[in-house]
Amino acid sequence: MAKVTVRDNSGKEVVTFDAEKDESLGTQAQDNGAPIPFSCGVGACRTCVAKVKKGKEYLDEEAVGPKHITTEDDEILTCICGLREDAPDDAEIDIEAENL
Ligand code: FES
């Protein structure tokens, strides 16, 4: 399973967990003790946004639903972003949540 490290907005590690492919990274982060805040939950605001420090190639930005706003190239909306179906088990992803 891919490893996901979640950092707060100061860069401090909050949690690292083994990610599943069937749920968004934000939901899994919350379930694992990193309470990334959600507002809309459907990719239409920036409340859950995170900068990807490592492993963007393993992520599907619209795994759970379509993105309704524009984000920077290094940003994901964690409420809808998940692992790509073909992400290898040894993938490592590192994200920094803006509102955590
Ligand atoms: S909570 Fe609004 S875009 Fe994720």
Give the pLDDT confidence of 22-43 residue by residue, as tens digits.
Answer: 999 999 999 999 999 999 999 9
Mean pLDDT over each residue of the chain, to the nearest integer: 98
Which of 77, 81, 100 maximizes ligand 1 atoms within 8 Å of its Cβ, making it the mutation to test the pocket? Answer: 77
What pLDDT does 1 receive? 86
Q: Mind listing the domains of the chain with CATH numbers?
A: 2-97 (3.10.20.30)
Q: Does the beta carbon of 44 lie inside 6 Å of ligand 1?
A: yes
Locate tokens 């290898």: which residue? Answer: 88
Q: For the residues 60-70, what does the mean pLDDT come to?
A: 98
Task: Output the pTM of the full model.
Answer: 0.96
Of 65, 61, 91, 64, the residue nearest 75 (C-alpha): 61
CA 69 – CA 9 distance, rounded (Å): 21
Coil, helix or strand at residue 56: helix
